[in-house]
Amino acid sequence: MLSLFRLPRGFTINQVPKVFHEDSIMSGYRHPRSSATDCILSLFQLTNETLNIWTHFLPTWYFLWKLVTVVLMQTAWQDPFTWPLLVFLLSCCVYPLASSCAHTFSTMSARARHICFFFDYAALSFYSLGSAVVYSAYVFPDRWVGGSFHRGFVVMAVVNTVVCTVLSCYSRLGFPFLQFDHDTMKKFPERRSPRFSKMLRVVAFAFPYLFDSLPLFYRVFVCVGDGCTDNDANVLHYYHISLSLLTGFLFATHLPERLAPGSFDYIGHSHQLFHVCGILGTHFQMKAVEQDMVTRRRWLSENSVPVAFSNSLGPALLCVVISLGVVMLFSLPLLSESVCTTKTKTKTKTKTKTKTKMKKRRPEGQSPSSD
């Protein structure tokens, strides 16, 4: 029986289509036409995706527990001041769950792989918005609170979220409605120029992070003197920033597997480390914003922009709707092409069976032209 302690029969990089290739990962690939059941069973087999799945699936339950704690124990719905924390914790639940699902079901087909990661990118974009909302409410340095940048911060974060989702989806597929045909799979930006696609995704996710972190960077690295908000949460913010930078470095460089291709196929490759560092960074980020929320509540209530639906739950709901619309925009051509291909294959099989039956029914000696 296949288990985590015994390697299952996997595929090498030369045995799967190029769309499934991972940089410097040489073995441990699953079947590129796996069923949904096969994908779920692969959770309990050691492949090059197993730890990618579990390193995000298990933390989902931790963040869900924190979300439920805020809702039930802090009566979030009755206290608008906790709404930004609610949005942030919801985004912390969504992005690891979407990631684990994407890694689980991405080997059902090439088209399924693209669609799975479209949802993954939308979830990461939503997480960036959750960070912006909670930073606007609790983390802004005293000196910036109430200024024009602060008042427009969430609005700009919404725009960044939508742009991030569009760019990351484009990096895999391009604009489907402008170029989709039977040979589209060969025209995808990821197929034409994988390095450019990867760079585009790095930029798509790095820019919202840098924008969201501007008030935090100013607070912990630049600001000196009065109005700089120096409290116990700053140490936790340092931990979060360090892990975030390490996460981005791992995602962009593909280390350590690039140094020794094939040596980290199952355990220790960059995507696994990227997941672990990302989750740890999110944990420290959550602890830091909770500390700021408690420590600064009285001062923020008197001096900051009041927390309302329009700068917390409203933008989150808007981004969910828009991001799902973007995902559907990029996914529909793939789904329609898949349906067309299936119908074509079905018609071909039907014609073949019909011709076979006609030949069997034709009397001996009768020529085809006499039918």
DSSP 3-state of 275: helix
In a structure prediction context, what are the per-residue pLDDT tens digits for the chain, which is 371 residues long? Answer: 344 444 446 899 999 998 899 999 999 999 999 999 999 999 999 999 999 999 999 999 999 999 999 888 767 678 899 999 999 999 999 999 999 999 999 999 999 999 999 999 999 999 999 999 999 999 999 999 999 999 999 999 999 999 999 999 998 877 655 554 445 445 555 656 777 888 889 999 999 999 999 999 999 999 988 889 989 999 999 999 999 999 999 999 999 999 999 999 999 999 999 999 999 999 999 999 999 999 999 999 999 999 999 999 999 999 999 999 999 999 998 887 654 444 445 455 545 555 555 555 554 444 444 43
pLDDT for the residue 28: 94
Residue in 106, 98, 124, 104 with CA at minimum distance from that of residue 19: 106
Find tokens 């390490």 and name the residue.
Answer: 246
CA distance 131 to 16: 38
Residue 17: CA count within 13 A, CB half-sphere: 15
**Three-state SS string across 110-136, please?**
HHHHHHHHHHHHHHHHHHHHHHHHHHH
Q: How far apart are CA 14 and CA 202, in angstroms?
A: 27
Q: Quick one: CA torsion of 51, 56, 58, 60, rounded to 10 degrees? A: -170
Class level of CATH domain 31-338: mainly alpha
Domain residues of the chain, as ranges?
Answer: 31-338
319 near 162, Cβ under 8 Å? yes
Residue 99's pLDDT is 97
